[in-house]
Amino acid sequence: MDINGVISISYLIIGFVLSLYWFDKEYEESYNAAVIGGEVDKGMSSIMMICLMMFWPIKVVKDFLKKFF
């Protein structure tokens, strides 16, 4: 496997771990309340997790800027 494959797999693994962490930390309470109320489409939560997994550097920078500025 060449370096591009290693970088791509690393990027996706980091994104997966961070998306699980952010979902548990920031979104789980509201998601559970929406499930109880019957207002949630489970497919949309999966799409949100995939977006977090793919665009995690944007969220990291946004959270960094929010925290220090």
pLDDT in tens, the chain (69 residues): 899 999 999 999 999 999 999 999 999 999 999 989 888 888 888 999 999 999 999 999 999 999 998
Look at the chain and report how many structural domains it folds into: 1
Query: In terms of residue numbers, what domain contains 58?
Result: 3-68
DSSP string, the chain: --HHHHHHHHHHHHHHHHHHHHIIIIIHHHHHHHHHHT---HHHHHHHHHHHHHSHHHHHHHHHHHHH-
**Can you give the pTM of this predicted structure?**
0.84
Whole-number pLDDT of residue 41: 81
